[in-house]
Structure 1
Amino acid sequence: MFVIIEPKDHHSYKTIVDLFSEFIKEGVMLHYSFQDHTRATFISLKDQSNGTFGGAILLKQRVGTLHQKVGRHLSSLAPKNGEVWTCSLFLQGENHSLSQSEAFCQLFYQNLYQQLVTFGRKEKLDFLCMILEQGEYLYTEIIGSWPYVFEVHPDESRDGLFHGILSLTINPSKLHQKT
């Protein structure tokens, strides 16, 4: 369902990288956080023939560039070099009926989370610092059941974005089981 595009492979996936770049430029506040996307790793849907495009952008950044509350929360977790992996994501689609969209979105967000976990294992990460537009946050929280361990909601941040810490080691399905 997904392809991982590391910086060394950007030239081979120019069309996809350009689509991610456009997405970043359109979100003014996201552009600020991900302006140096030449160093980014992308996780993208493999098949975009049905008009659906989406995935994640991952970029290593200094803790000092993150939302202040996230930075404080990370003070004991951040590596000695002071850099952590940040992530944003999006999904854009057309040609889906409402029922297909809901089923597709659930599959997309669950599989994307698994790709992030795989990326985390490869990079030896327990968490990612998420920077999301409000709609994407809601999809990950409600549809994807992603395990956030710390959250700053859009109404609490000056830039109107969600900032949070996403666990890559907690099984999200266990978080939402009824006891």
Structure 2
Amino acid sequence: MYNMNSGYYGFKMSNRAAEAYENGEKPLSKWTKKALIKQIEEYIEENDIICPIETLKKTTSPVLKKLLLKRTSWHHTSYYANATDFYSVNYDVLEDLTQEEIEAAAVVSKEAAVELNRYRGNIDYLEWTGSRKHHKAIRRALKDVNIEEKGSFYIVSDDGGKVLLRKKIGSNGTCVSKCS
């Protein structure tokens, strides 16, 4: 009978996660531009394919990740057994990739970065106090403030531009409403 509990590699990750690293898979946060370009160059050299590598080298890391990485698996990581997605290079996309596609993806990425969601609104949130063992949540509210959705955070500021609060979008107890 097969043992589904393959164990842990120290306190960092499961044995299967360690095996995934050995097979070239990594969490998205571990893929650097340098590592991605290196793996692409090795693949191009080994398989003798034509690829606009110089254009890829000039492209930003987020665009490269979006274009060339695919989710291949998930594994347990950390002492708390968090589930983490692992990614590897999508070589099928790489072989058909054109310079025009890379440039188009870069333009879309720039447009998305420029388009920030800003508005006046109210935010209700929880502020945690106390120790880790004896914690307490206090409900707080800010009314008629500037709210900017940037990445996965609400950034709340006053009329003078001073940042009052930074809260993760979707965090427990956080509710935002736009002013009419």
- Structure 2 length normalisation: TM-score? 0.27
Name the one with the larger strand percent.
2
Query: Rg bigger for which structure?
Result: 2
- Structure 1 length normalisation: TM-score? 0.27
Higher relative contact order (CA 8 A, sep 6+): 1
